[in-house]
Amino acid sequence: GAARALVDYAEIPDAAKDAVASGNLARLLGLEKLPTAREVRVDELAARAARGEPFADELVIDAHAHVVHADAQQAGGVVMPDAGPEAQLRVYDRLGVDRIFASSYLGIWSDSVAGNAELAQVVARWPDRFVGYVTIDPTYLSEDEVVREINTYHNELHFPGLKPYYPRNELPLTHPRYEPWWGCADAHSLFALVHFDLKKTEAEVDELATRYPNVRFLCAHSGATFEFAETVAALALRHPNVYLELTITNVPLTVIEFLVEKVGSKRVLFGTDSPMRDPRPQFGWVVYADLDVEQKRDILGRNAERLLSTVEW
């Protein structure tokens, strides 16, 4: 499904899609007749994706994305062709994505203060599309500066998301420097997208989910491996405020079905990591999963919408 969606939603003529999907290989192998396609269950969502149609009348929310500066071609040392918000939205429009929960790539990789300001500009320009994850790096900010960022972006601009980034600063999520941030999140029922180091972060989220029951913790990249899926599913079963966000480049086969079997479809979230990742394969990974239509709708948008609707300002 992931590979197919990349072709079906490509900005190329239909004849070129046919060539990429099968025609070129058939020609190289000298096949005069293609093998009969295996029968698979195709629901209304998969059928629409197979036609390359946007999900215009379905709710689709990307729960894990980033923004970079206009006309960007790279960020954080990662090449990202045509990565600016306008180009990003053109791809989202092809899929029919309604809203995007995003943090600044600058904010997680180097300068959280400048990153939040960059994100605020994007949200101000497209308020109906982008929803902000605030980035705060307490290793570079004083306590007063942390409180300033909280007041500006949560209390004044009402950004509902938090994006601490352990892989960059290696500061434990339970460190006292984070307490003002978690306290604000708990007071307003905000949600945090959390990246993991399996040796440490599982125990930290376990502790935080108990200490701050109103914060919704989204485990980033929950579909990365079956080992990781087991770990975060167990966390979600212990804590009703833990959710599982999917995105990963290698889109392991059947891991989405595995997570839904473990925790149910209402705790799993579609995400893409755009613009670092092309959102089209991540979209196809969910749309073509062996789930019923209502389960897919939960994952594609309804669960993220529920997170938004229960924030309390």
> What DSSP line would sit under the chain, residue for residue?
-HHHHHHHTSSS-HHHHHIIIIIHHHHHHT-SSPPPPPP----HHHHHHHTT---TTS--EEEEEEE--TT-SEETTEE-TT-SHHHHHHHHHHHT--EEEEEEHHHHHT-HHHHHHHHHHHHHHSTTTEEEEE---TTTS-HHHHHHHHIIIIIIT---EE---HHHH---TTSGGGHHHHHHHHHHT-EEEE---TTTHHHHHHHHHHH-TTSEEEETTTTS-HHHHHHHHHHHHH-TTEEEE---TT--TTHHHHHHHHH-GGGEE----BTTS-HHHHHHHHHTSSS-HHHHHIIIIIHHHHHHHT---
Residue 151 has pLDDT above 90, yes or no: yes
Which pLDDT score, from 0 to 100, does residue 2 have? 95
Which range of residues forms the domain containing residue 268? Answer: 2-309
Tokens of 17: 């899609």
Q: Is the pTM higher than 0.85?
A: yes
Determine the length of the chain: 313
Whichever domain contains 32, its CATH number is: 3.20.20.140
Q: Average pLDDT in the 52-70 region?
A: 96
Q: Average pLDDT in the 209-229 region?
A: 97
For residues 159 and 169, give the distance between their C-alpha atoms in angstroms, rounded to a whole number.
Answer: 22
Residue 179 has pLDDT above 90, yes or no: yes
- Quickly state the pLDDT bin for 142 (edges 50, 70, 90): very high
- Quickly state the pLDDT bin for 287 (edges 50, 70, 90): very high
* For helices 226-238 and 255-263, angle between their N-to-C axes, nearest 10 degrees: 20
Which pLDDT score, from 0 to 100, does residue 52 have? 96
- Quickly state the pLDDT bin for 134 (edges 50, 70, 90): very high
- The residue written with tokens 């609707």 in the block is 309
For residues 162 and 38, give the distance between their C-alpha atoms in angstroms, rounded to a whole number.
Answer: 44
Q: Average pLDDT in the 127-150 region?
A: 98
Q: Average pLDDT in the 36-48 region?
A: 86
Q: Average pLDDT in the 274-283 region?
A: 96
State how many domains the chain has: 1
When mean pLDDT is compared across 30-39, 111-120, 247-256, the lowest value belongs to 30-39
Average pLDDT, the chain: 95
Q: Which residues pair with 242 in a beta bridge?
A: 217
Residue type (1 letter), 260: V
